[in-house]
Structure 1
Amino acid sequence: MAALFEGYTLCGIGPTRNSSNSGILGIELGRDIDHVLVTDASRSVTVYKVSDQKPTGSWTVKHGQIITCPAVFNTQSQEYVVVTDDRVVRVWKENDVHMEKAFKATVSADVLRVLSAAESEAVVLFCCGAVRFLDSLLTSPQQPIEDVLAKEEIIRWSTVVKAEHQLVVLFSTEQRDHHWLYAQRFNPNTLVKHRIETEPGLSAPISFSATCRGRNLHLLFLYSNGSLYESVLPLRISATGAEGVQALPRSLRLSLPLGEEELISGAAVVLDEAHVAVVGFPHPSAGTCKDYLCIWNTHFQTLQASKEMSGRICSQLWCYSGKLYVPHGKMLSVIPFECQKSSLAATMGKLKQSRSESKSCSLLSSWTAQPYGEITQTPGFKSRMSTRHTSVVKSALTVDQIIEHIKTGAVEDVQAEVGEFIRLTTQTDLQLATGRMALELVSRSQTDANFYPHAVFLQLLETQYLCYSVCPDLLSLAMMKKDFHLCQIAFQIFPDIPEDVTCACLKTILSTPDSEIETVNLDTESVIFMKMLTQTQSGLEEEGGQQNGFCPPAIETDVSDAPSSMLQRDPLSLVMSCPVGLHKGALLNEVLQTAYSNKPLLPHLKDLTVPQVIVFLQYLLFLYLKYSHDAHKQIPALRTPSFSQIIDWICLLLDAHFTILAVAPEAKRLVSDLHKFVRSQVKLYAELGKIEGSLQVLKKSKQSEDFGMYSIEVIELF
């Protein structure tokens, strides 16, 4: 399982030179994991602090000089190293203002790259294939450099891998449609040449990635036809091993969807032993669009996460410390990611959540995973994944035939054919076909008013292979049809719903009468949660206890003589009913648990009308008061909004409509109650802070004082 989180822009980039170069020569780690060096294709090297998205230093060469390889940070000497004009090696420190005034040395051969690994000496790779340690080279810059490569043999890719306290320099070469891989080891000092196999009609691999796992080096080769091969090399070679050119065995790990166009560029980088990030190849269900960053599971051939990038993506991709660096359009974006340990159950969406784990604020980490086990499925929506044959039986119809039937067939026939196809199709084929079928079903439903296959949409959602990016119009169609059951399932499954769509759904839910929503068949667990939430108060009153520091205030006045407003003015009394129906509350809970970012969400919240905002705020206040009395802990439900989600939505609504709420007469009472409740909370936490300070003082007091056999000590807290 894997997830791509909300990204941010690190810096702008210059004009793109070609489809494989964004104007950035390279990105390397700086002095720590929060700093990176960005070398552009013009004349500058800039150090950025990633968390702050700000440059901390920048150096530029003189006009007429060019930087010919990415700058690196030498962790041993704490210095920056770069090569200009192919042969001039420049070394400078963080506090050096000008690169020109720092140390420089001219070597006797063209340098291809300077390679650096953590806590290791930097290595210089020459264009002729020779390798030198940086310190020994700078000691004698004009030392002779031998020619390792044959005539017309050109290096296409290079890297350095550190494992078991030794370095291995890897570089691939090309010579007249023949491709080789060299492995330079230093302990012992050996250079081994391997022959890279290529498929008929294919050129060299368009992307390489190398990692070390255990005692082996794992190399991934990406070809333009979407084939991703892996080769394994032992970290150490035998002293009696074969000499000369050795064959490089490989195995196919993944076949990426190619689309209709022939691709000549792309990039892949290994994230862990089961996941790889890819750019330059189309999303399986996005047609010919290639502006996607995708994470694939190479063990189970499944797409785990995807993110659409604005602007054209170049064939460059870097990965450092749980972050992907992607040049696209005119910017360099940083995309945090997370990869969880891969298992067949998790990949097929069958990994059930443990009851002992936290059950609130569960963020779906992959659109191919089922986050809540079978509890999200309503009657009639039971999973058939465990009974579906995946390799022995083949569906009688192909996906192209089913799409043709969708265009003209009746709803009942389409439902039967899609259900049979899902039951008999392999996981890999089904993942690619689900999006195509959903797009065609939505397209016909939008043009044919008499065609709306509710059950077929539920079948496709059940596969766990749909997300909003695959079929963007599905949620809009469901809202237009007032299909709240489908909307609820989509909210539970889709991790990538845009903020404007979330607000549109929220507006539809709030504007629909409770009487209409109460007739909808929703997830029973959510409805049961709402029922128990509204019934919790009576149980608390019977117990007469006080929970979480709250207790309904006693009212000695005769209830029959007291005005009704008197019983409801105190927001802490909790004598309040749910302002919405049970089913509407269940749907609102799903909205509260949808992933979002504050800045994109805030403008769309302003589209809500004042009555809708007031009702929603009343419901959020109702939830907050119930949660303050630990009501949510007494209700065993998986899909429940968290405390922080409720507070965040209250703050967002107040920020979006503060001026209107301040002057609207119908909002005066609600805002007053919110003010009183917040004031009481501030007072409570202030008193708790005093107690905490007193307890800390007591904890730090001397424990070794001898008070004799018996003593009485008075401690005044206030």
Structure 2
Amino acid sequence: MAALCESFTLCGLSPTSGVGLGGGLLALEPGPDPDHVLLTDRGRTATLFKVSDQKPLGCWSVKHGQVLTCPVVCNFETHEYIAVHDDKVLRIWKNEDINLDKVFKATLSADVHRIHSLPNGGPVVLFRGGDVRTLDALLEAPQQEIENVISDEVIKWSEAFMEGKQPVLVFTTEKDGDFFVYVQKLKTNSLHKYKLEQQELSKPMSFTAYIKNQIITLLCLCSNDCVYKVLIPLQQNTEDTEQILPKSLLLNLSVSGSVLKGTSFVVLDKDHIAILGSLTASDEEPKECLTIWNTKFQTLQTSKELPLGTSGQLWCYEERFFFTHGKVLTVIMYKCETSSLAAAVGKLKAGKSPDVSAFVNWNALGREELADSFQSQQSGALKYESKMTLRSNKNAVANVQTDNLPVGKVLRNLKDVPTRIFEDELRQLMSKAQALDLQASIGSVVTALINRYKTNPKHYHRNLLLEIVQTYDLSYSLCPDLMAVALENKDVRLLQTCLLRFPDIPEEVTYSCLEIFLSISEDYLQRIDVNLESVICYIDIDSDNKEVKTEIVENGFSPEQEEGTWDNPLAEEAHLTSDGEMCPVGPQKAALLNAILCSAYSEVFLLPHLKNLPAKEAVLFLRYLFYLYVKCSEKINTTLPGMSSPTINQIMDWMCLLLDAHFTVIVMLPEAKLFLSSMHKFVRAQIRFYSELNKIEGSLQELQRLHQQKDPQTYSIEVLEII
């Protein structure tokens, strides 16, 4: 079985971004590390990206008038980058090189079609004439004669593999409608030529291949909406005979009356392939989509519609798909599981060490499935037993016997009972939940509480919901309506607990929590029970105690060391003490904001929401972040005391996010001018301080090196003076 997982944008494809839009990219190649990719545009620029961070690590361009005619590749042995521009000019450089005009240059004697880099075999250069050379051989004599192996044929596709310790290059050519396959073994310098079997009304449009057990499996995506397989043995006795390779049908790209017009495809494993193309039906408009097919059972496993269109190019590295979608380069992660009939019908048992997430997606379970999932003890079901006779007023429920009822039925029977009875029954229900389906059981209880509130808003079981979130390992996806209801009721304590315990809160919900925390009044918060564990160790909780602290500054920085570091109006407003500015918010609000800082987020998805934050709240939040930064900088270990306190990296990341989102507004606000000036002076002092530390570190390292060189045999006293 196969599935498409989360997706994100790696980079934009606007003409000014360094990645052109001229029919897509020239190529995307793996970088020096598994998480790196190299993008080459149809122009002058190559960019190295770290995929998980969605940020460029380096960008190189040839000068005006030159054009990259070959995708940039990485030499995995030397971590150098190799490119060809203007067909014959070879360039080699490293990460630290900036100007490509000053790096190694070699002009070759023939036009290059493509360079393939192998992890253990080094780069291999394929010329347009079909000749193949290793990069090392070319660098020894760049102007060596290159043979024209193919005559009047055009190379359509090429790929390099390692078979054992031997590099093997495979490429296909076309001439007058006929397609040929060449297999070049570099170590033995042997070349085999084959001809693909022709088929009426069918023309190969895209190729891919893999090697296993000395056999090359070549796959052809053809114009008749089918994928064919061609087997090519590596062991051949003769080189002169041009064999005709038969094609066998691997996959028919039609399902439920729709046909996929594929443009490119990749092999995922022995049973799965991914195809990018246009899905067409007789009565509908074509829809571009990414699909995963099971070749063993001839089935479409999953698909994702791409409404913004693509360039028809698809790459796959490290279980990630890369393709252009509109004006961006999109990344989609995927997973492929064992392909078997048992897996296809959903009866495959988990292995001894199943890779199961600690959090389940509650939305994936239907209501009937929920009730059925608790029906038997053998399947980890939850059986509810209650022999309690409920005694209440005349309108109360009498003798509610729920022995051995599924959870769904139990919840339905409790729908109209009073609040106290309802909560008592749910607590018993949770106490009988078995470990195997504990999360699903608790999720059903939370869902019942939320549905009861939606039916009648007076039934808001705030204490029970808070108890459940604090006690059990839940997730946002398990109970997505919980935080929405808490936001509606401005239940800041429940929101704080969810932020600290849920690992998968969407950025939009995180922003909604931040907006409420900043806008709610301090007077209201003082009447609310908030968890103060994250602030109690560094914020004076007693509001009546205005005593000035005299704690010693340990990192060498003090406001008095730099004249004018703190401006008087700002100091008066913030109640300045000898160890820095006091917290601009109360302890309750500070604890709530700390929960925001400690929550997980993606910068790409959070930044658009932060831009909607009102200017007043943005300045207040920025002042609090600066206060935390000063607090962290006071200590040598740069960590705040207390439980669930934000780290200095989280504080700095949020400061950068907030400045990115509101830079123009904050600069223009008069009330932010003094604060920004103080922030600038403090950061400048910190830079000077750490610069001096770096000098001391360098001096100590040099002294340590000198001490290792000189090993006195007798007792001696040495005086070291650092100037």
**TM-score in terms of structure 2 length:** 0.56
Q: How does 1:642-661 map to 2 (within 5 A)?
A: 655-656=511-512
Displacement after TM superposition at 1:22 (Å)? 3.2
Amino acid of the structure 1 residue aligned with 2:173:
T
Distance verdict in 2 for CA 1:626–1:182, change over 3 Å: same
* Cα distance in structure 2, aligned partners of 1:356 and 1:375: 25
* Cα distance in structure 1, aligned partners of 2:188 and 2:459: 74
* Cα distance in structure 2, aligned partners of 1:225 and 1:276: 17
Deviations 1:629-673 (A, max 9, x none): xxx9xxxxxx999999857569976752566589899x9799935
2:267 is equivalent to residue 250 of structure 1: no
SS at match of 1:37: strand
* Cα distance in structure 2, aligned partners of 1:329 and 1:343: 36
Q: Does the Cα contact within 8 Å between 1:20 and 1:315 map onto a contact in 2?
A: no
2:360 paired residue number: 362
2:448 is equivalent to residue 585 of structure 1: yes
* Cα distance in structure 2, aligned partners of 1:359 and 1:96: 43
SS at match of 1:291: strand
Q: Does the Cα contact within 8 Å between 1:211 and 1:217 map onto a contact in 2?
A: yes
Match of 2:466 among 621, 638, 651: 621
Displacement after TM superposition at 1:351 (Å)? 3.0
Distance verdict in 2 for CA 1:113–1:614, change over 3 Å: farther
Amino acid of the structure 2 residue aligned with 1:301:
Q
2:549 paired residue number: none
Distance verdict in 2 for CA 1:20–1:264, change over 3 Å: farther
Deviations 1:107-165 (A, max 9, x none): 11111011111122211101111111111112111211111112x21111111112312
Displacement after TM superposition at 1:47 (Å)? 1.1
* Cα distance in structure 2, aligned partners of 1:140 and 1:360: 58
Q: How does 1:227-626 map to 2 (within 5 A)?
A: 227-234=226-233, 236-238=234-236, 240-241=237-238, 243-257=240-254, 266-282=263-279, 287-351=284-348, 361-362=359-360, 524-526=406-408, 535=425, 537=427, 585=448, 615=460, 620-625=465-470
Q: Does the Cα contact within 8 Å between 2:271 and 2:295 map onto a contact in 1?
A: yes
Q: Does the Cα contact within 8 Å between 1:28 and 1:72 map onto a contact in 2?
A: yes
Displacement after TM superposition at 1:67 (Å)? 0.8
SS at match of 2:138: helix
**Number of aligned pairs?**
474
Amino acid of the structure 2 residue aligned with 1:341:
T
* Cα distance in structure 1, aligned partners of 2:533 and 2:409: 28
Q: Does the Cα contact within 8 Å between 2:180 and 2:195 map onto a contact in 1?
A: yes
Q: Does the Cα contact within 8 Å between 1:10 and 1:50 map onto a contact in 2?
A: yes
Q: Does the Cα contact within 8 Å between 2:447 and 2:479 map onto a contact in 1?
A: no
Displacement after TM superposition at 1:618 (Å)? 5.9
Q: Does the Cα contact within 8 Å between 1:13 and 1:24 map onto a contact in 2?
A: no
2:2 paired residue number: 2
Q: Bigger relative contact order, structure 1 or 2, given CA contacts below 8 A and separation 6+?
A: 1
Distance verdict in 2 for CA 1:615–1:305, change over 3 Å: farther
Q: How does 1:661-676 map to 2 (within 5 A)?
A: 672-673=528-529, 675=531
Displacement after TM superposition at 1:284 (Å)? 7.7
* Cα distance in structure 1, aligned partners of 2:469 and 2:21: 52
Distance verdict in 2 for CA 1:47–1:664, change over 3 Å: closer
Identity rate, percent: 35
* Cα distance in structure 2, aligned partners of 1:317 and 1:250: 24
Displacement after TM superposition at 1:188 (Å)? 2.7
2:216 paired residue number: 217
Q: Does the Cα contact within 8 Å between 1:171 and 1:182 map onto a contact in 2?
A: yes
Q: Does the Cα contact within 8 Å between 2:287 and 2:306 map onto a contact in 1?
A: no
Amino acid of the structure 2 residue aligned with 1:44:
T
Amino acid of the structure 2 residue aligned with 1:206:
M
Deviations 1:557-602 (A, max 9, x none): xxxxxxxxxxxxxxxxxxxxx999969518879xxxxxxxxxxxxx
Distance verdict in 2 for CA 1:99–1:588, change over 3 Å: farther
* Cα distance in structure 1, aligned partners of 2:444 and 2:82: 66
2:65 is equivalent to residue 64 of structure 1: yes
Distance verdict in 2 for CA 1:262–1:201, change over 3 Å: farther
* Cα distance in structure 2, aligned partners of 1:25 and 1:356: 42
Distance verdict in 2 for CA 1:669–1:248, change over 3 Å: same
1:50 paired residue number: 51
* Cα distance in structure 1, aligned partners of 2:147 and 2:469: 74
Q: Does the Cα contact within 8 Å between 1:124 and 1:134 map onto a contact in 2?
A: yes
SS at match of 1:244: coil
SS at match of 1:345: helix
1:25 paired residue number: 26
2:714 paired residue number: none
SS at match of 1:136: helix
Distance verdict in 2 for CA 1:132–1:528, change over 3 Å: farther
Amino acid of the structure 2 residue aligned with 1:156:
K
SS at match of 2:81: strand
Amino acid of the structure 1 residue aligned with 2:60:
W
Deviations 1:444-495 (A, max 9, x none): xxxxxxxxxxxxxxxxxxxxxxxxxxxxxxxxxxxxxxxxxxxxxxxxxxxx
Q: Does the Cα contact within 8 Å between 2:13 and 2:329 map onto a contact in 1?
A: yes
Distance verdict in 2 for CA 1:676–1:62, change over 3 Å: closer
2:206 paired residue number: 207
* Cα distance in structure 2, aligned partners of 1:580 and 1:90: 59
Distance verdict in 2 for CA 1:314–1:612, change over 3 Å: farther
Displacement after TM superposition at 1:68 (Å)? 0.6
* Cα distance in structure 2, aligned partners of 1:308 and 1:75: 35
Q: Does the Cα contact within 8 Å between 2:254 and 2:260 map onto a contact in 1?
A: no
1:107 paired residue number: 108
SS at match of 1:171: strand
Deviations 1:214-240 (A, max 9, x none): 433222111123201122223x314x3
* Cα distance in structure 2, aligned partners of 1:619 and 1:283: 52
Q: Does the Cα contact within 8 Å between 2:167 and 2:185 map onto a contact in 1?
A: yes
SS at match of 2:254: coil
SS at match of 2:137: helix
Deviations 1:244-295 (A, max 9, x none): 2122233222111399999876110011111111111317899434331111
1:593 paired residue number: none
Q: Does the Cα contact within 8 Å between 1:66 and 1:85 map onto a contact in 2?
A: yes
**TM-score in terms of structure 1 length:** 0.56
* Cα distance in structure 2, aligned partners of 1:258 and 1:20: 32
Amino acid of the structure 1 residue aligned with 2:212:
R
Distance verdict in 2 for CA 1:21–1:162, change over 3 Å: farther
1:161 paired residue number: 161
Distance verdict in 2 for CA 1:215–1:652, change over 3 Å: same
1:34 paired residue number: 35
* Cα distance in structure 2, aligned partners of 1:669 and 1:688: 20
Distance verdict in 2 for CA 1:149–1:664, change over 3 Å: closer
- Structure number, greater radius of gyration: 2
SS at match of 2:466: helix
* Cα distance in structure 2, aligned partners of 1:65 and 1:257: 44
Amino acid of the structure 1 residue aligned with 2:318:
S
Tell me, which stretches of 5 or more residues in structure 1 are unaligned? 382-514, 516-522, 548-577, 590-607, 633-638, 690-718
SS at match of 2:528: helix
Displacement after TM superposition at 1:378 (Å)? 5.2
Amino acid of the structure 2 residue aligned with 1:306:
S
SS at match of 1:5: strand
Q: Does the Cα contact within 8 Å between 1:323 and 1:337 map onto a contact in 2?
A: yes
Amino acid of the structure 2 residue aligned with 1:172:
T
Tell me, which stretches of 5 or more residues in structure 2 are unaligned? 376-396, 398-404, 415-421, 436-440, 483-497, 537-590, 592-640, 645-723
Distance verdict in 2 for CA 1:624–1:105, change over 3 Å: same
Q: Does the Cα contact within 8 Å between 2:221 and 2:262 map onto a contact in 1?
A: no
* Cα distance in structure 1, aligned partners of 2:259 and 2:431: 70
* Cα distance in structure 2, aligned partners of 1:102 and 1:164: 34
